Chain A
Amino acid sequence: MDRRTVLKSFALAALMAGSQMGTASAADTIKIGEINSYTSLPAFTLPYRSGWQLALDEINAAGGINGKKLEVISRDDGGKPGDAVTAANELVSRENVSVLFGTFFSHIGLAVSDFANQRKIVFVAAEPLTDALTMEKGNRYTFRLRPGTYMQAAMLVDQAAKLPAKTWATVAPNYEYGQVAVKVFKELMSAKRPDIKWVDEQWPAMGKIDGGATVQALARAEPEAIFNVTFGADLTKFIREGNTRGLFKNRSVVSLLTGEPEYLDPLGDETPSGWIVSGYPWEQIKTPEHEAFLKAYKAKFNDYPRLGSVVGYNTMKAVAEMIRKAGSVDTDKLIAAGEGLKIDSPLGPITFRAEDHQSTMGGYIGKTAMKDGKGMMVDWHYANGADYLPALAEVAKARPKN
């Protein structure tokens, strides 16, 4: 080992040091970190990004928060929890963001939530549906906007229980979301309708449904009604096979998320009619707050909003409002502001409950129908999330004591 090599290695080290510098933030902006699965789930996350961008523009156009502009630094996690944690670490350690928000997949939401807990930074989860996020694995740093799996299923049960059907079958993707949705639906239904019998369940692997075989297996059990949890490409395949093979003829179907434009629009003229679904009938919502949102969204992106757009918009608004109310970016003050935080959203006012940090954002429940070869929702109403939140006793029991 000669001296030149030593010098070289120190030069290299110095070079690496240089690349770490020069990221000091300007004092008149508040930096916020955002992470989502943009490349692995673009159908949902790209409209979602448009949503938070619109909200960000509106906030900054109105003068920002407490005189400071908001700046969002966004990262793609590629659908991998490990990469999401790396991105979160980069945003917190290098970019010095004050708050994190985003994520779609439940396991990624949990990973980032646990990171937030470890690093003591506020994380507003936009989309992950798993109940664990606010229940068994909840922590004081994590807030969640969208109604969780329990709430989603509970909203549908009110309508489903009114159906005359006594024998039910279920079909759900074989992972936590599907499993919990089926479990909750069964429990709540059986409580309301003790006469119901569950005759079959199918668990296709997520993204790999064998449409024909699954449809045939369900038909064999001859249920009077079916509860479906599949979505995306699985749902499309399931519906097309089901239509061809007459599975849905004279059968009631209750289906989670199917009314969301993300999943309804690709169905086109295959849209089944009369399914009880949760979704987002954006073209029919006539409240002033939604019309304002719709107009602004269309003007900015020349496209119509998906449910993801609303989720992104609301999450950004919630983050901004939290900072404004706290009057600072101090984590403890942000948490205090976040508990009970009220915001106005295109779907009406929503509140983040203090006990479990779950928002009261609700969903639209209605029936599917077809018009001009396109799917739409009819007979819908807005189910307020506040009416479907898990009972406080349950929350107290499930959430770890801090």
Chain B
Amino acid sequence: MSFFFIQFLNGLASASSLFLVASGLSIIFGVSRIVNFAHGSFYMLGAYMAFTLVQKLSGGTVFGFWGAIVLAAAAVALVGAVVEMVLLRRIYQAPELLQLLATFGLVLIVQDLVLVLWGPEDLLGPRAPGLKGAIDIFGQSFPQYDFVLIILGPVVLGLLWLLFHRTRWGTLIRAATQDREMVAALGVNQAWLFTSVFTLGAFLAGLGGAVQLPREAVNHVMDLQIITEAFVIVVIGGLGSVLGAFLAAVIIGELNAFGILIFPQLTLVLTFLVMAVILVVRPWGLLGKPEMVMRGGGGVERPIRPLTQRGRNVAFAGLVVLLALPMVGGSYGLSVASEVLIFALFAASLHFMMGTGGMVSFGHAAYFGLGSYGAALMVKYFGIPMLAALVTGPLLAAAAALVFGWFCVRLAGAYLAMLTLAFAQIAYAVVFQWSSFTGGDNGLIGIWPAPWAANPVAFYYLTLALCGGGILAVRRITFAPFGYTLRACRDSALRADSIGINLSSHRWAGFALAGFFAGIAGSLYAFLKGSVFPDTISIATSVDGLVMVLLGGVQTLTGPVVGALVYKTLHVTISSYTDQWRTALGVIIIVLVVAFPQGISGFVQGRLTRSEPKEDAA
């Protein structure tokens, strides 16, 4: 009995840390709609700053220690304020999710920065003065410091409640969470409201990181470890709901504490299983409200149109270049070109889902990765030829998309996005854990192309045919009646519903199609690399896809192709030249975001169509 009580307390202590980070994320999202990918970076910065400040200032006293912790959080808040004012303020009017891209750039820069400033080694800070030991509870030792954490969570929750319900600022924030246009119309200075909210969120993340100091070694992968978990908690709790975040943090904290007793092997996936179940039962999280549409912000969107004559010329010229590439490319150049084509199809399939279908996915890697595994497993176990494997891969991906999609299409906005992530993580865990069949983290190797396609030129043409064909097919579907219906469901669910369109079955079909095309890309990728590893299904791959789509521009059909070309080429070339490729890539992404808020392709298209006769976008 005493054991379970202690384990319960362990869960609460972890929950407090999670809550601090998640509450900040939730508040920022609630008000500004920013999916702040850099929130984990704030958390990490908080921990590093606390490490330095505690050593410089505390002198081993209780007051000095806690002063240093708060100061570290304040320093992170300051960083947050600067980021908001210098960067985010410029792109609030950009289309949805573009801010995510900017914050992704920040993540890359902070990763390098931390390495330069604090060095590569893990840093173990001192224990908290006066709280170094353990308390005896029913004959079990429990760390004193963890009690502080257990109390800290509810205290912060209470303070936030007071702040939101007893101050004018809090009233404005709550109003802005519900309807920010109305708040602006009433003459509230929105810019400062947003800055203050972002600063508060950064402060909480910094505090969350700083209080970890006595518990764990500060290290440079803390950012990505916390960020998914924080997102999960925010979504389980309900977007923008601080109390919900608290409840969710407690659930996840306890789940981890007790889960390891019952399923020690399942730690990887338990959180996501629970999130999936909760979202299926409660589509807006525990305490969330039906979400306002996440779209918009970019003004009225220009409808997608077929190519103009000029556009067709450009496309034709592009095709000529692609066909002529083997004459000049060299085998390495061709393999990079093949990789770009594969990711162009991957990005196009994601774009079909989020642009045309209006369903943002944070877990599109699932279909890419399952496409890879669908091909590789068949080759490995049944020795089927490559061409057949290129069919089984996409079929597996499409099958998974049918199953996952059935649940996902019932949701909307960020909840849908997070449910796709949950399914992707579940697929990841299955592949990772089922090592007797999938090879686990050691993957499947020896998946090389058939002899007729082994030559880089042949493989390149095969990739060009399949990916080029896939991209054209996606395009064709977008302009087919099905595509128009999908866009109708996206733009006005109510109207589409009232004229008798079955919303969920159309979106479901769209979802499965997107999965199928991602699967084609994935199965080609397996043969390009000669191997498949679970990381093809990882969050990093999903994020790569998102970055490509956003970089190219969500509102154009050429966007994903341009985005894939730019992102992949930059990635491959920069990392050949410098160790600081993350900083370089991050800076370039941020510059591109600020310069082309409509995406690169959106910008070009905007310039090209400006000269053409204006059509009203009704």
Interface residues of A (CB under 8 A from B): 1-2, 5-6, 8-10, 12-14, 16-17, 20, 38-40, 42-43, 46, 75-76, 78, 80-83, 85-87, 89-90, 93-94, 106-107, 110-111, 113-115, 117-118, 130, 132, 137, 174-176, 179, 201-205, 207-208, 210-214, 216-217, 219-220, 232-233, 236-237, 240-241, 244-246, 262, 265-268, 270
Q: Considering only CB atoms and an 8 Å cut-off, how many residues of chain B contact the other chain?
A: 84
CB distance from B374 to the nearest CB of A (A): 17
Q: Is the CB of A208 within 8 A of B225?
A: yes
A20-B330, A176-B440, A216-B10 provided; 17 other pairs, C-beta below 8 A?
A1-B316, A5-B314, A9-B318, A80-B535, A81-B443, A81-B531, A81-B535, A93-B335, A110-B442, A111-B533, A132-B442, A137-B442, A207-B225, A210-B14, A212-B14, A233-B221, A237-B216
Across chains A and B, the number of contacting residue pairs, with CB separation under 8 Å, is 226
Bound form: Cα–Cα A113–B445 in Å: 9
A-chain residues with CB within 8 Å of residue B124 when the two chains form the complex? 236, 240, 266-268, 270
CB distance from B529 to the nearest CB of A (A): 5
Question: Known contacts A106-B442, A203-B267, A211-B216: does B260 contact A217 (CB below 8 Å)?
Answer: yes
Q: Is B339 an interface residue (CB 8 A)?
A: yes
Q: Which 7 A-B pairs give the minimum distances between C-beta atoms? A: A17-B328, A42-B120, A93-B332, A236-B217, A114-B445, A212-B10, A9-B317
Cβ contacts B383-406/A at 8 Å (1 or 0 each): 000000000000000000000000
B-chain residues with CB within 8 Å of residue A83 when the two chains form the complex? 575
CB distance from A123 to the nearest CB of B (A): 13
A-chain residues with CB within 8 Å of residue B111 when the two chains form the complex? 39
Q: Is the CB of B225 within 8 A of A245?
A: no
Q: Is B122 an interface residue (CB 8 A)?
A: yes
Bound form: Cα–Cα A12–B333 in Å: 15
Bound form: Cα–Cα A14–B219 in Å: 47
Q: Is the CB of B325 within 8 A of A266?
A: no
A-chain residues with CB within 8 Å of residue B333 when the two chains form the complex? 16, 20, 94
Q: Is the CB of B443 within 8 A of A110?
A: yes
Q: Is B487 an interface residue (CB 8 A)?
A: no
Bound form: Cα–Cα A331–B122 in Å: 40
Bound form: Cα–Cα A219–B321 in Å: 66
Bound form: Cα–Cα A210–B268 in Å: 12
Cβ contacts B126-153/A at 8 Å (1 or 0 each): 0100001110000011110110000000
Q: Is B530 an interface residue (CB 8 A)?
A: yes
Q: Among B6, B329, B531, which residue has its beta carbon within 8 angstroms of that of A85?
A: B531
Q: Is the interface of A mostly helix, strand, loop or mixed?
A: helix
Q: Is the CB of A210 within 8 A of B335?
A: no
Q: Among B11, B257, B332, B531, which residue has its beta carbon within 8 angstroms of that of A110?
A: B531
Q: Is B313 an interface residue (CB 8 A)?
A: yes
Looking at the complex, which of B179-187, B296-304, B496-504, B576-584 is the stretch in contact with chain A?
B576-584
CB distance from B512 to the nearest CB of A (A): 26
Bound form: Cα–Cα A83–B531 in Å: 12
CB distance from B1 to the nearest CB of A (A): 12
Q: Is B525 an interface residue (CB 8 A)?
A: yes
CB distance from A140 to the nearest CB of B (A): 14
A-chain residues with CB within 8 Å of residue B336 when the two chains form the complex? 86
Q: Among B10, B320, B328, B533, which residue has its beta carbon within 8 angstroms of that of A9?
A: B320
Q: Is B7 an interface residue (CB 8 A)?
A: yes
Cβ contacts B215-229/A at 8 Å (1 or 0 each): 111011100010000
Bound form: Cα–Cα A20–B335 in Å: 13
Chain B residue, CB-CB nearest to A208: B225
CB distance from A72 to the nearest CB of B (A): 14
Bound form: Cα–Cα A217–B11 in Å: 12
CB distance from B368 to the nearest CB of A (A): 11
Q: Is B327 an interface residue (CB 8 A)?
A: yes
Question: Known contacts A14-B328, A114-B446, A114-B531: does B143 contact A212 (CB below 8 Å)?
Answer: yes
A-chain residues with CB within 8 Å of residue B7 when the two chains form the complex? 213, 216-217
CB distance from B44 to the nearest CB of A (A): 12
A-chain residues with CB within 8 Å of residue B141 when the two chains form the complex? 244-246
Bound form: Cα–Cα A332–B330 in Å: 25
Bound form: Cα–Cα A240–B132 in Å: 10
Q: Is B588 an interface residue (CB 8 A)?
A: no
Chain A residue, CB-CB nearest to B264: A203
Chain A residue, CB-CB nearest to B446: A114
Bound form: Cα–Cα A78–B582 in Å: 10
Q: Is the CB of A114 within 8 A of B332?
A: no
Q: Is the CB of B328 within 8 A of A90?
A: no
A-chain residues with CB within 8 Å of residue B219 when the two chains form the complex? 232-233
Q: Is the CB of B575 within 8 A of A78?
A: yes
Q: Is the CB of B3 within 8 A of A220?
A: yes
CB distance from B10 to the nearest CB of A (A): 4
Q: Among A20, A214, A267, which residue has its beta carbon within 8 angstroms of that of B329?
A: A20
Question: Known contacts A90-B332, A213-B256: does B575 contact A76 (CB below 8 Å)?
Answer: yes
B-chain residues with CB within 8 Å of residue A212 when the two chains form the complex? 10, 13-14, 143, 146, 257
A-chain residues with CB within 8 Å of residue B10 when the two chains form the complex? 210, 212-213, 216
Q: Is B293 an interface residue (CB 8 A)?
A: no
Question: Which of the listed residues B111, B217, B312, B533 has the most CB atoms from chain A within 10 Å of its own CB?
Answer: B217
Bound form: Cα–Cα A311–B441 in Å: 23
B-chain residues with CB within 8 Å of residue A14 when the two chains form the complex? 328
Bound form: Cα–Cα A245–B136 in Å: 9
Q: Within B9-65, which residues are at the interface with A (CB < 8 Å)?
A: 10-11, 13-14
B-chain residues with CB within 8 Å of residue A176 when the two chains form the complex? 435, 440-442
B-chain residues with CB within 8 Å of residue A130 when the two chains form the complex? 442
- A sample of 6 cross-chain residue pairs with beta-carbon separation below 8 angstroms, ordered by A number, consists of A76-B579, A85-B531, A176-B442, A245-B134, A245-B140, A266-B122
Bound form: Cα–Cα A268–B218 in Å: 13
A-chain residues with CB within 8 Å of residue B220 when the two chains form the complex? 42
B-chain residues with CB within 8 Å of residue A13 when the two chains form the complex? 321, 324-325, 327-328
CB distance from A286 to the nearest CB of B (A): 26
Q: Within B225-274, which residues are at the interface with A (CB < 8 Å)?
A: 225, 256-257, 260-261, 264-265, 267-268
Q: Is the CB of A211 within 8 A of B215?
A: yes
Q: Is the CB of A246 within 8 A of B134?
A: yes
Q: Among B215, B260, B268, which residue has its beta carbon within 8 angstroms of that of A240?
A: B215
Bound form: Cα–Cα A237–B261 in Å: 19
Chain A residue, CB-CB nearest to B454: A118
CB distance from A198 to the nearest CB of B (A): 13
A-chain residues with CB within 8 Å of residue B525 when the two chains form the complex? 82
Q: Is B123 an interface residue (CB 8 A)?
A: yes
Q: Within B426-468, which residues are at the interface with A (CB < 8 Å)?
A: 432-433, 435, 440-443, 445-446, 448
Q: Is B523 an interface residue (CB 8 A)?
A: no
Question: Known contacts A82-B535, A115-B530, A245-B143: does B442 contact A107 (CB below 8 Å)?
Answer: yes
B-chain residues with CB within 8 Å of residue A213 when the two chains form the complex? 7, 10-11, 14, 256-257, 260
B-chain residues with CB within 8 Å of residue A46 when the two chains form the complex? 120
CB distance from A155 to the nearest CB of B (A): 22
Q: Is the CB of B581 within 8 A of A201?
A: no
CB distance from A210 to the nearest CB of B (A): 5
Bound form: Cα–Cα A75–B574 in Å: 11
Q: Is the CB of A12 within 8 A of B260?
A: no
Q: Is the CB of A94 within 8 A of B260?
A: no
Question: Known contacts A10-B324, A89-B335: does B441 contact A202 (CB below 8 Å)?
Answer: no
Q: Is B121 an interface residue (CB 8 A)?
A: yes
Bound form: Cα–Cα A38–B578 in Å: 11
Q: Within B100-126, which residues are at the interface with A (CB < 8 Å)?
A: 111-112, 115, 120-124
B-chain residues with CB within 8 Å of residue A114 when the two chains form the complex? 445-446, 530-531
Q: Among A2, A207, A219, which residue has its beta carbon within 8 angstroms of that of B313?
A: A2
Q: Is the CB of B6 within 8 A of A216?
A: yes
Q: Is the CB of B536 within 8 A of A82?
A: yes
Q: Is the CB of A110 within 8 A of B216?
A: no
Question: Known contacts A82-B525, A232-B122, A237-B215: does B533 contact A174 (CB below 8 Å)?
Answer: no
Q: Is B162 an interface residue (CB 8 A)?
A: no
Chain A residue, CB-CB nearest to B571: A83
Bound form: Cα–Cα A311–B267 in Å: 33
A-chain residues with CB within 8 Å of residue B6 when the two chains form the complex? 216
Question: Known contacts A232-B122, A240-B124, A246-B141: does B530 contact A90 (CB below 8 Å)?
Answer: no
